[in-house]
A and B are shown apart, each in its own frame.
Chain A
């Protein structure tokens, strides 16, 4: 699928958010256009067989966690997800 130009993309996303904010029903075609443009250029990051970048981030209890201390004896399932809030 060809990339949508940024003006069209913005219009599609704004239309969806306007209806949501107004508490109005979102027609299926508006939703599916929104889904399509917000998932354009889907990338999946480091390739199989390569090492992922090191990082240290706070967990839900505020403790700093590194890749090394998160990993179990046979590895780690590292999940990137959209949000815990919505």
Chain B
């Protein structure tokens, strides 16, 4: 999180974190880890309950009693929730890099570059390393040569709309959102068609399977698209990609002291 702070602050977004720890514990933790953002002490978990994310499973004599379901909220300046990030498992944490990536909107250093005909795509995950069961951000930056376009959804009959898919070997689920397509009128066809052209970004999420053995994996997927200009059309294409990801060992539960 601290690594992502500079990126977020450049975007005018501050960070604060809430746990049920005492201010003394937070002070030690902040000094030890050189945390430069506020760590708030919600002893008694009042605010955690007010947000409706108190973990009701644990019993009062357990050390973990009082923890929240871990959720990160990206708030607008007026306190409205813009986005939520969570992994449904309190043993795991969301990578701060995912949030920074969404705020900054760049594919990051571990992105891969794809080129096919008149279309270039830079696609990358929000992190090189993750835990099994973690949700990662995904971003794809498309650059389409002038005069050319690809299709939004729904594509006209006989044309392929643009879609990103993942093979389900290591991936439990994914979603991907393209910007609203442009509506283009084709005089020759007498039709208006939803297309993407120029430079644009699409963002998504990829949920890793749980469990996965710690190791280096590649997440394989495809981008379906069809590239056309006003006068000519190439056939539908399936562009394959492989994104590297390192699965880290699950955080060990510390011994109770």
Contacts and interface: CB of A to CB of B under 8 A. Distances in A.
A30 to B, nearest CB: 11
Interface in A1-55: 9-10, 13, 16-17, 20-21, 23, 26, 31-32, 35, 37-55
B23 A58 contact: yes
Interface centre among A10, A37, A58 (most CB of B within 10 A): A58
B60 to A, nearest CB: 12
Interface in A34-80: 35, 37-55, 57-62, 65, 67, 70-80
Interface residues of B, number: 70
A38 B90 contact: yes
Interface string B38-77: 1111100001101111011111001110011111111111
A84 B253 contact: no
B207 interface: no
A39 B57 contact: yes
Nearest to B32: A84
Interface in B71-119: 71-84, 86, 88-91, 93, 99
Interface stretch (B7-15, B134-142, B176-184, B234-242): B7-15
B86 A13 contact: no
Contacts of A84: 19, 21, 25-26, 29-30, 39
Contacts of A45: 51-53, 69, 71, 73, 84
A71 B56 CA distance: 29
A74 B81 contact: no
B58 A13 contact: yes
B95 to A, nearest CB: 12
A62 B93 CA distance: 26
A46 B52 contact: yes
B81 A49 contact: yes
Interface centre among A26, A49, A72 (most CB of B within 10 A): A72
B67 A78 contact: no
B55 A76 contact: no
B64 to A, nearest CB: 7
Given A39-B88, A59-B23, A70-B38, A21 B14 contact: no
Interface of A: 9-10, 13, 16-17, 20-21, 23, 26, 31-32, 35, 37-55, 57-62, 65, 67, 70-86
Given A17-B256, A40-B57, A82-B70, 11 more contacts: A9-B57, A13-B59, A13-B62, A58-B40, A76-B15, A77-B15, A77-B73, A78-B16, A79-B17, A80-B17, A81-B68
